[in-house]
Structure 1
Protein backbone atom coordinates (compact mmCIF):
# COMPACT_ATOMS: atom_id res chain seq x y z
CA UNK A 1 0.00 0.00 0.00
CA UNK A 2 0.94 3.64 -0.25
CA UNK A 3 1.99 6.07 2.46
CA UNK A 4 -0.76 7.87 4.33
CA UNK A 5 -0.63 11.07 2.29
CA UNK A 6 -1.04 9.18 -0.99
CA UNK A 7 -3.77 7.01 0.47
CA UNK A 8 -5.67 10.08 1.62
CA UNK A 9 -5.30 11.70 -1.79
CA UNK A 10 -6.54 8.59 -3.61
CA UNK A 11 -9.55 8.23 -1.32
CA UNK A 12 -10.43 11.88 -1.88
CA UNK A 13 -9.88 11.43 -5.60
CA UNK A 14 -12.18 8.39 -5.71
CA UNK A 15 -14.91 10.27 -3.82
CA UNK A 16 -15.66 7.38 -1.49
CA UNK A 17 -17.65 8.52 1.52
CA UNK A 18 -19.91 7.31 4.30
CA UNK A 19 -22.93 5.37 3.07
CA UNK A 20 -21.49 4.74 -0.39
CA UNK A 21 -21.69 1.50 -2.34
CA UNK A 22 -18.28 0.53 -3.73
CA UNK A 23 -17.26 -2.32 -6.03
CA UNK A 24 -13.61 -3.29 -5.62
CA UNK A 25 -12.64 -5.37 -8.66
CA UNK A 26 -9.89 -7.98 -8.16
CA UNK A 27 -9.17 -6.96 -4.55
CA UNK A 28 -5.81 -8.73 -4.24
CA UNK A 29 -4.76 -8.77 -0.60
CA UNK A 30 -7.93 -6.93 0.37
CA UNK A 31 -6.24 -3.73 1.50
CA UNK A 32 -8.62 -1.52 -0.47
CA UNK A 33 -11.70 -3.55 0.46
CA UNK A 34 -10.75 -3.18 4.12
CA UNK A 35 -10.17 0.56 3.77
CA UNK A 36 -13.41 1.14 1.87
CA UNK A 37 -15.30 -0.90 4.47
CA UNK A 38 -14.09 1.44 7.18
CA UNK A 39 -14.94 4.58 5.18
CA UNK A 40 -18.44 3.68 3.97
CA UNK A 41 -19.49 2.55 7.44
CA UNK A 42 -22.52 0.51 8.47
CA UNK A 43 -24.84 2.27 6.02
CA UNK A 44 -22.53 1.55 3.08
CA UNK A 45 -21.66 -1.54 1.10
CA UNK A 46 -18.42 -2.90 -0.36
CA UNK A 47 -18.45 -5.64 -2.95
CA UNK A 48 -15.12 -7.43 -3.03
CA UNK A 49 -15.36 -8.88 -6.54
CA UNK A 50 -12.93 -11.65 -7.44
CA UNK A 51 -13.16 -12.42 -11.17
CA UNK A 52 -13.58 -16.15 -11.86
CA UNK A 53 -10.76 -15.71 -14.36
CA UNK A 54 -8.30 -15.42 -11.45
CA UNK A 55 -10.13 -17.37 -8.72
CA UNK A 56 -7.95 -20.44 -9.31
CA UNK A 57 -4.72 -18.68 -8.32
CA UNK A 58 -2.68 -20.54 -5.70
CA UNK A 59 -3.01 -17.74 -3.16
CA UNK A 60 -6.78 -18.49 -2.98
CA UNK A 61 -8.10 -14.95 -3.62
CA UNK A 62 -11.72 -15.92 -2.90
CA UNK A 63 -10.88 -17.65 0.37
CA UNK A 64 -8.79 -14.71 1.49
CA UNK A 65 -11.62 -12.27 0.88
CA UNK A 66 -14.12 -14.49 2.67
CA UNK A 67 -11.80 -14.55 5.67
CA UNK A 68 -11.55 -10.77 5.51
CA UNK A 69 -15.34 -10.46 5.41
CA UNK A 70 -15.56 -12.36 8.69
CA UNK A 71 -13.38 -9.85 10.52
CA UNK A 72 -15.14 -7.79 13.21
CA UNK A 73 -16.81 -4.75 11.69
CA UNK A 74 -16.82 -6.11 8.13
CA UNK A 75 -20.54 -6.79 7.98
CA UNK A 76 -20.73 -4.30 5.11
CA UNK A 77 -18.43 -6.43 2.91
CA UNK A 78 -19.85 -8.94 0.46
CA UNK A 79 -17.52 -11.26 -1.42
CA UNK A 80 -18.56 -12.10 -4.97
CA UNK A 81 -16.76 -14.33 -7.46
CA UNK A 82 -18.01 -14.85 -11.00
CA UNK A 83 -16.99 -14.25 -14.58
CA UNK A 84 -15.96 -10.64 -14.92
CA UNK A 85 -18.83 -9.74 -17.23
CA UNK A 86 -21.37 -11.15 -14.74
CA UNK A 87 -20.54 -8.35 -12.30
CA UNK A 88 -23.59 -6.14 -13.07
CA UNK A 89 -26.06 -8.89 -12.22
CA UNK A 90 -24.44 -9.79 -8.91
CA UNK A 91 -23.99 -6.36 -7.34
CA UNK A 92 -26.21 -3.43 -6.45
CA UNK A 93 -26.02 -0.10 -8.30
CA UNK A 94 -22.78 1.50 -7.15
CA UNK A 95 -21.46 4.98 -6.40
CA UNK A 96 -17.85 3.99 -7.12
CA UNK A 97 -16.20 1.21 -9.06
CA UNK A 98 -12.53 0.90 -8.12
CA UNK A 99 -9.97 -0.71 -10.43
CA UNK A 100 -6.47 -0.72 -8.97
CA UNK A 101 -3.62 -2.03 -11.17
CA UNK A 102 -5.99 -4.28 -13.11
CA UNK A 103 -7.23 -2.43 -16.19
CA UNK A 104 -4.23 -3.54 -18.27
CA UNK A 105 -5.19 -7.16 -17.57
CA UNK A 106 -8.29 -6.65 -19.70
CA UNK A 107 -5.87 -6.84 -22.62
CA UNK A 108 -4.28 -10.15 -21.57
CA UNK A 109 -5.06 -13.70 -22.65
CA UNK A 110 -5.90 -14.75 -19.09
CA UNK A 111 -8.80 -12.33 -18.72
CA UNK A 112 -9.99 -12.60 -22.30
CA UNK A 113 -10.12 -16.41 -22.15
CA UNK A 114 -13.78 -16.32 -21.06
CA UNK A 115 -14.75 -13.60 -23.49
CA UNK A 116 -14.16 -10.47 -21.44
CA UNK A 117 -12.66 -7.55 -23.34
CA UNK A 118 -12.02 -3.99 -22.25
CA UNK A 119 -14.97 -2.80 -24.34
CA UNK A 120 -17.30 -5.40 -22.80
CA UNK A 121 -16.13 -4.66 -19.28
CA UNK A 122 -16.43 -0.89 -19.63
CA UNK A 123 -20.02 -1.30 -20.78
CA UNK A 124 -20.68 -3.57 -17.78
CA UNK A 125 -19.29 -0.90 -15.46
CA UNK A 126 -21.45 1.74 -17.12
CA UNK A 127 -24.51 -0.45 -16.56
CA UNK A 128 -23.74 -0.94 -12.88
CA UNK A 129 -22.84 2.61 -11.81
CA UNK A 130 -25.47 5.06 -10.67
CA UNK A 131 -25.84 8.25 -12.72
CA UNK A 132 -23.04 10.51 -11.53
CA UNK A 133 -21.10 7.51 -10.22
CA UNK A 134 -17.31 7.33 -10.45
CA UNK A 135 -15.23 4.78 -12.35
CA UNK A 136 -11.73 5.09 -10.90
CA UNK A 137 -8.76 3.49 -12.62
CA UNK A 138 -5.19 3.38 -11.29
CA UNK A 139 -2.61 1.54 -13.39
CA UNK A 140 1.00 1.21 -14.46
CA UNK A 141 1.84 3.61 -17.28
CA UNK A 142 3.35 2.40 -20.54
CA UNK A 143 5.46 4.59 -22.79
CA UNK A 144 3.79 7.17 -24.98
CA UNK A 145 2.74 5.47 -28.19
CA UNK A 146 2.72 1.97 -26.71
CA UNK A 147 -1.05 1.79 -26.55
CA UNK A 148 -2.08 -1.61 -25.22
CA UNK A 149 0.87 -3.51 -26.69
CA UNK A 150 2.74 -3.85 -23.37
CA UNK A 151 -0.21 -5.11 -21.34
CA UNK A 152 0.70 -8.79 -21.66
CA UNK A 153 4.48 -8.51 -21.54
CA UNK A 154 5.15 -5.63 -19.14
CA UNK A 155 1.76 -5.28 -17.38
CA UNK A 156 1.57 -1.66 -18.49
CA UNK A 157 -0.87 0.36 -20.56
CA UNK A 158 -0.71 3.82 -22.09
CA UNK A 159 -3.04 6.23 -20.25
CA UNK A 160 -4.35 7.67 -23.52
CA UNK A 161 -5.57 4.22 -24.58
CA UNK A 162 -7.44 3.76 -21.31
CA UNK A 163 -9.13 7.12 -21.72
CA UNK A 164 -10.13 6.36 -25.31
CA UNK A 165 -11.62 2.99 -24.40
CA UNK A 166 -13.52 4.18 -21.34
CA UNK A 167 -14.93 7.25 -23.06
CA UNK A 168 -16.12 5.00 -25.91
CA UNK A 169 -18.42 3.32 -23.37
CA UNK A 170 -20.11 6.64 -22.59
CA UNK A 171 -18.08 7.84 -19.63
CA UNK A 172 -16.73 11.36 -19.24
CA UNK A 173 -13.26 12.04 -17.84
CA UNK A 174 -13.83 14.00 -14.65
CA UNK A 175 -10.33 14.25 -13.17
CA UNK A 176 -6.83 12.81 -13.23
CA UNK A 177 -4.17 12.62 -10.55
CA UNK A 178 -0.38 12.53 -10.72
CA UNK A 179 0.06 11.60 -7.07
CA UNK A 180 1.62 8.26 -8.12
CA UNK A 181 3.69 9.56 -11.02
CA UNK A 182 7.37 8.64 -11.26
CA UNK A 183 9.34 10.41 -13.97
CA UNK A 184 12.32 8.11 -13.38
CA UNK A 185 10.44 5.01 -14.52
CA UNK A 186 11.87 3.99 -17.93
CA UNK A 187 8.52 2.38 -18.93
CA UNK A 188 10.45 -0.35 -20.75
CA UNK A 189 10.69 -2.98 -18.01
CA UNK A 190 8.17 -5.30 -16.41
CA UNK A 191 6.45 -3.84 -13.35
CA UNK A 192 7.73 -6.76 -11.24
CA UNK A 193 11.37 -6.00 -12.00
CA UNK A 194 13.16 -5.42 -8.65
CA UNK A 195 14.52 -2.08 -9.90
CA UNK A 196 11.01 -0.59 -10.23
CA UNK A 197 8.61 -2.87 -8.31
CA UNK A 198 6.32 -0.78 -6.13
CA UNK A 199 7.62 2.45 -7.65
CA UNK A 200 6.25 2.34 -11.20
CA UNK A 201 4.93 5.44 -12.89
CA UNK A 202 1.18 5.20 -12.26
CA UNK A 203 -1.72 7.24 -13.51
CA UNK A 204 -5.14 7.73 -11.93
CA UNK A 205 -8.29 8.63 -13.85
CA UNK A 206 -11.76 9.34 -12.51
CA UNK A 207 -14.53 8.96 -15.04
CA UNK A 208 -18.19 9.69 -14.35
CA UNK A 209 -21.37 8.23 -15.74
CA UNK A 210 -23.45 11.20 -16.99
Structure 2
Protein backbone atom coordinates (compact mmCIF):
# COMPACT_ATOMS: atom_id res chain seq x y z
CA UNK A 1 0.00 0.00 0.00
CA UNK A 2 1.49 3.34 -0.99
CA UNK A 3 1.77 6.27 1.40
CA UNK A 4 -1.03 8.33 -0.18
CA UNK A 5 -3.55 5.49 0.10
CA UNK A 6 -2.47 4.72 3.67
CA UNK A 7 -2.88 8.37 4.73
CA UNK A 8 -6.27 8.48 3.04
CA UNK A 9 -7.45 5.45 4.99
CA UNK A 10 -6.20 6.92 8.24
CA UNK A 11 -8.12 10.10 7.47
CA UNK A 12 -11.30 8.10 6.83
CA UNK A 13 -10.91 6.24 10.12
CA UNK A 14 -10.43 9.49 12.07
CA UNK A 15 -13.45 11.01 10.31
CA UNK A 16 -15.51 7.96 11.27
CA UNK A 17 -14.45 8.29 14.90
CA UNK A 18 -15.33 11.98 14.82
CA UNK A 19 -18.82 11.11 13.59
CA UNK A 20 -19.22 8.71 16.50
CA UNK A 21 -18.18 11.41 18.97
CA UNK A 22 -20.57 13.90 17.36
CA UNK A 23 -23.42 11.42 17.78
CA UNK A 24 -22.76 10.83 21.47
CA UNK A 25 -21.69 14.22 22.82
CA UNK A 26 -24.03 17.21 22.94
CA UNK A 27 -22.04 20.46 23.11
CA UNK A 28 -25.30 22.34 23.67
CA UNK A 29 -26.35 20.30 26.68
CA UNK A 30 -28.08 22.70 29.13
CA UNK A 31 -25.72 21.72 31.96
CA UNK A 32 -22.69 23.11 30.12
CA UNK A 33 -21.56 26.63 31.01
CA UNK A 34 -21.21 29.58 28.67
CA UNK A 35 -17.46 29.54 29.36
CA UNK A 36 -17.24 25.93 28.19
CA UNK A 37 -19.08 26.72 24.98
CA UNK A 38 -16.75 29.63 24.27
CA UNK A 39 -13.76 27.36 24.84
CA UNK A 40 -15.16 24.83 22.36
CA UNK A 41 -14.17 27.11 19.48
CA UNK A 42 -10.45 26.74 20.15
CA UNK A 43 -10.33 23.39 21.99
CA UNK A 44 -12.33 21.47 19.36
CA UNK A 45 -13.41 18.85 21.89
CA UNK A 46 -15.38 16.54 19.59
CA UNK A 47 -12.49 16.05 17.23
CA UNK A 48 -10.05 15.78 20.14
CA UNK A 49 -12.02 13.13 22.02
CA UNK A 50 -12.54 11.21 18.78
CA UNK A 51 -8.78 10.67 18.55
CA UNK A 52 -8.99 8.51 21.68
CA UNK A 53 -11.65 5.94 20.67
CA UNK A 54 -13.43 6.34 24.02
CA UNK A 55 -16.09 3.68 24.56
CA UNK A 56 -19.04 3.41 26.94
CA UNK A 57 -18.18 1.82 30.26
CA UNK A 58 -14.51 2.83 30.30
CA UNK A 59 -12.69 4.38 33.26
CA UNK A 60 -10.79 7.54 32.31
CA UNK A 61 -8.45 9.71 34.39
CA UNK A 62 -8.59 13.47 33.70
CA UNK A 63 -5.13 14.19 35.13
CA UNK A 64 -4.79 17.70 36.58
CA UNK A 65 -8.18 18.22 34.98
CA UNK A 66 -8.87 21.66 36.44
CA UNK A 67 -12.55 22.60 36.50
CA UNK A 68 -13.46 19.53 34.46
CA UNK A 69 -14.05 20.84 30.94
CA UNK A 70 -13.15 17.50 29.37
CA UNK A 71 -14.56 15.46 32.26
CA UNK A 72 -18.09 16.71 31.62
CA UNK A 73 -17.91 15.79 27.94
CA UNK A 74 -16.38 12.41 28.72
CA UNK A 75 -19.25 11.86 31.14
CA UNK A 76 -21.63 11.86 28.16
CA UNK A 77 -19.38 9.59 26.10
CA UNK A 78 -18.83 7.00 28.84
CA UNK A 79 -22.43 6.48 29.88
CA UNK A 80 -23.82 5.29 33.21
CA UNK A 81 -21.43 2.34 33.50
CA UNK A 82 -18.34 4.44 32.78
CA UNK A 83 -16.39 6.67 35.14
CA UNK A 84 -14.24 9.78 34.97
CA UNK A 85 -11.73 10.48 37.72
CA UNK A 86 -11.45 14.28 37.74
CA UNK A 87 -8.08 14.81 39.34
CA UNK A 88 -6.53 17.91 40.91
CA UNK A 89 -3.96 18.53 43.60
CA UNK A 90 -4.12 21.00 46.47
CA UNK A 91 -1.87 23.57 44.81
CA UNK A 92 -4.20 23.80 41.81
CA UNK A 93 -7.35 24.40 43.87
CA UNK A 94 -7.01 28.20 44.29
CA UNK A 95 -7.14 28.49 40.49
CA UNK A 96 -9.94 26.02 39.69
CA UNK A 97 -11.80 25.22 42.91
CA UNK A 98 -14.73 27.62 42.45
CA UNK A 99 -15.47 26.49 38.89
CA UNK A 100 -14.94 22.83 39.82
CA UNK A 101 -17.46 23.06 42.64
CA UNK A 102 -19.96 24.84 40.40
CA UNK A 103 -19.70 22.10 37.78
CA UNK A 104 -20.33 19.30 40.26
CA UNK A 105 -22.77 21.12 42.56
CA UNK A 106 -26.07 19.70 41.30
CA UNK A 107 -24.85 16.11 41.27
CA UNK A 108 -26.02 15.49 37.71
CA UNK A 109 -22.61 14.28 36.52
CA UNK A 110 -23.05 11.02 38.36
CA UNK A 111 -20.17 9.23 36.63
CA UNK A 112 -17.65 11.99 37.35
CA UNK A 113 -15.72 11.35 40.56
CA UNK A 114 -13.89 14.28 42.13
CA UNK A 115 -10.41 12.88 42.72
CA UNK A 116 -8.32 15.24 44.86
CA UNK A 117 -4.89 13.69 45.32
CA UNK A 118 -1.29 14.88 45.45
CA UNK A 119 0.57 13.77 42.35
CA UNK A 120 3.02 11.65 44.31
CA UNK A 121 0.14 9.71 45.92
CA UNK A 122 -2.48 9.14 43.24
CA UNK A 123 -3.52 5.81 44.75
CA UNK A 124 -4.53 4.25 41.45
CA UNK A 125 -4.88 0.48 41.25
CA UNK A 126 -2.78 -1.38 38.69
CA UNK A 127 -4.49 -1.74 35.29
CA UNK A 128 -7.49 0.26 36.52
CA UNK A 129 -7.57 2.89 33.75
CA UNK A 130 -8.66 2.52 30.15
CA UNK A 131 -7.45 5.98 29.14
CA UNK A 132 -5.85 9.17 30.47
CA UNK A 133 -6.36 12.79 29.43
CA UNK A 134 -3.33 14.96 30.23
CA UNK A 135 -4.29 18.33 28.76
CA UNK A 136 -2.08 21.42 29.19
CA UNK A 137 -0.28 19.76 32.07
CA UNK A 138 2.84 18.05 30.73
CA UNK A 139 4.90 21.22 31.11
CA UNK A 140 3.79 21.42 34.75
CA UNK A 141 5.98 18.42 35.55
CA UNK A 142 8.92 20.78 34.90
CA UNK A 143 7.55 23.95 36.51
CA UNK A 144 8.47 24.74 40.11
CA UNK A 145 6.72 27.24 42.39
CA UNK A 146 5.74 27.38 46.09
CA UNK A 147 3.79 24.21 46.82
CA UNK A 148 4.33 22.87 43.32
CA UNK A 149 7.11 20.46 42.38
CA UNK A 150 6.51 17.24 40.45
CA UNK A 151 8.80 14.27 39.97
CA UNK A 152 8.13 13.40 36.31
CA UNK A 153 9.45 9.85 36.58
CA UNK A 154 7.30 9.13 39.62
CA UNK A 155 4.12 10.58 38.10
CA UNK A 156 4.53 8.87 34.74
CA UNK A 157 5.46 5.65 36.52
CA UNK A 158 2.17 5.76 38.43
CA UNK A 159 0.23 6.45 35.24
CA UNK A 160 1.96 3.64 33.35
CA UNK A 161 1.19 1.18 36.13
CA UNK A 162 -2.47 2.22 36.39
CA UNK A 163 -3.11 2.33 32.63
CA UNK A 164 -4.04 -0.99 31.08
CA UNK A 165 -1.73 -2.59 28.50
CA UNK A 166 -2.18 -0.72 25.20
CA UNK A 167 -4.31 1.87 27.02
CA UNK A 168 -4.13 5.35 25.51
CA UNK A 169 -3.09 8.70 26.94
CA UNK A 170 -3.91 12.02 25.28
CA UNK A 171 -1.17 14.63 25.69
CA UNK A 172 -1.88 18.23 24.65
CA UNK A 173 0.28 21.19 25.56
CA UNK A 174 1.37 24.68 24.59
CA UNK A 175 4.21 24.45 22.07
CA UNK A 176 7.60 26.05 22.65
CA UNK A 177 10.20 26.51 19.88
CA UNK A 178 11.64 23.24 18.60
CA UNK A 179 14.93 22.54 20.33
CA UNK A 180 14.16 24.67 23.39
CA UNK A 181 13.46 21.57 25.51
CA UNK A 182 12.45 22.87 28.99
CA UNK A 183 13.64 26.46 28.64
CA UNK A 184 10.10 27.88 28.58
CA UNK A 185 8.37 25.54 31.01
CA UNK A 186 9.08 27.68 34.05
CA UNK A 187 8.17 31.19 32.92
CA UNK A 188 5.95 30.76 29.86
CA UNK A 189 4.24 27.42 30.65
CA UNK A 190 5.28 25.94 27.30
CA UNK A 191 7.29 22.88 26.34
CA UNK A 192 9.18 21.64 23.28
CA UNK A 193 7.20 18.88 21.60
CA UNK A 194 10.34 17.05 20.50
CA UNK A 195 11.42 16.88 24.13
CA UNK A 196 7.95 15.54 25.01
CA UNK A 197 8.20 12.85 22.33
CA UNK A 198 11.57 11.69 23.63
CA UNK A 199 10.50 11.73 27.26
CA UNK A 200 7.27 9.83 26.59
CA UNK A 201 9.27 7.11 24.85
CA UNK A 202 11.60 6.99 27.85
CA UNK A 203 8.61 6.52 30.16
CA UNK A 204 7.46 3.51 28.12
CA UNK A 205 4.84 5.04 25.84
CA UNK A 206 4.63 4.85 22.06
CA UNK A 207 3.19 7.73 20.03
CA UNK A 208 0.45 6.28 17.83
CA UNK A 209 -1.22 9.47 16.61
CA UNK A 210 -0.23 13.09 16.11
CA UNK A 211 -2.65 15.81 15.10
CA UNK A 212 -2.42 19.39 13.84
CA UNK A 213 -5.95 19.99 15.07
CA UNK A 214 -4.94 22.71 17.55
CA UNK A 215 -2.15 24.34 15.60
CA UNK A 216 -1.91 28.13 15.32
CA UNK A 217 0.98 29.23 13.09
CA UNK A 218 0.40 32.86 14.17
CA UNK A 219 1.66 31.99 17.67
CA UNK A 220 5.37 32.80 18.02
CA UNK A 221 5.64 30.12 20.76
CA UNK A 222 7.52 32.58 22.97
CA UNK A 223 4.74 34.46 24.81
CA UNK A 224 3.48 33.57 28.26
CA UNK A 225 0.39 31.43 27.58
CA UNK A 226 -1.68 33.72 29.84
CA UNK A 227 -0.80 36.79 27.78
CA UNK A 228 -4.19 38.24 26.67
CA UNK A 229 -2.87 38.47 23.11
CA UNK A 230 -2.56 34.69 22.84
CA UNK A 231 -4.49 33.16 25.75
CA UNK A 232 -6.73 30.36 24.53
CA UNK A 233 -5.19 30.57 21.07
CA UNK A 234 -1.71 29.13 21.58
CA UNK A 235 -0.11 26.75 19.12
CA UNK A 236 -0.67 23.33 20.69
CA UNK A 237 0.64 19.88 19.85
CA UNK A 238 -1.57 16.82 20.21
CA UNK A 239 -0.20 13.32 20.81
CA UNK A 240 -1.97 10.06 21.51
CA UNK A 241 0.34 7.53 23.12
CA UNK A 242 -0.05 3.84 23.86
CA UNK A 243 1.06 2.17 27.07
CA UNK A 244 3.67 -0.39 26.07
CA UNK A 245 3.54 -3.08 28.72
CA UNK A 246 2.71 -6.77 28.91
Task: Verify same fold: TM over 0.5.
Answer: yes
TM (normalized to structure 2)? 0.77
Q: Any idea what the Cα deviations from partners look like across 1:40-81, whole Å, max 9, x if unmatched?
A: 0101000001123323x1x452x6535533535411111111
Task: Give me the whole-angstrom Cα distance separating, in 2, the residues matched to 1:93 and 1:102.
Answer: 21
The answer on whether the counterparts of 1:105 and 1:111 sit within 8 Å (CA) in structure 2 is no
Moved over 4 A (4+): 111-114
Task: Give me the whole-angstrom Cα distance separating, in 2, the residues matched to 1:161 and 1:152.
Answer: 15
Matched with 1:144 is 178
Task: Give me the whole-angstrom Cα distance separating, in 2, the residues matched to 1:173 and 1:23.
Answer: 19
Q: Does 1:40 align with 2:78?
A: yes
Seen in structure 2, the aligned counterparts of structure 1 residues 189 and 39 have a Cα distance that, compared at 3 Å, is same
Q: Does 1:23 align with 2:58?
A: no
Matched with 2:200 is 166
Q: Any idea what the Cα deviations from partners look like across 1:120-154, whole Å, max 9, x if unmatched?
A: 21111101101111111110000011101100111
Q: Which has the larger radius of gyration?
A: 2
Number of aligned residue pairs: give it.
206
Task: Give me the whole-angstrom Cα distance separating, in 2, the residues matched to 1:91 and 1:77.
Answer: 20
TM (normalized to structure 1)? 0.89
Seen in structure 2, the aligned counterparts of structure 1 residues 5 and 47 have a Cα distance that, compared at 3 Å, is closer
Task: Give me the whole-angstrom Cα distance separating, in 2, the residues matched to 1:60 and 1:195.
Answer: 22
Q: Any idea what the Cα deviations from partners look like across 1:82-136, whole Å, max 9, x if unmatched?
A: 111222437971111101111101101138845x222221111101101111111
Gap regions ≥5 residues in structure 1: none
Say which SS state the counterpart of residue 80 (structure 1) adopts.
Answer: strand
- Which of 209, 223, 226 is equivalent to 1:175? 209
Matched with 1:155 is 189
Say which SS state the counterpart of residue 77 (structure 2) adopts.
Answer: helix
Task: Give me the whole-angstrom Cα distance separating, in 2, the residues matched to 1:118 and 1:137.
Answer: 14
Gap regions ≥5 residues in structure 2: 1-38
Matched with 2:4 is none
Q: Does 1:80 align with 2:83?
A: no
Seen in structure 2, the aligned counterparts of structure 1 residues 4 and 156 have a Cα distance that, compared at 3 Å, is closer
Matched with 1:98 is 133
Seen in structure 2, the aligned counterparts of structure 1 residues 104 and 137 have a Cα distance that, compared at 3 Å, is same
Task: Give me the whole-angstrom Cα distance separating, in 2, the residues matched to 1:42 and 1:68.
Answer: 18
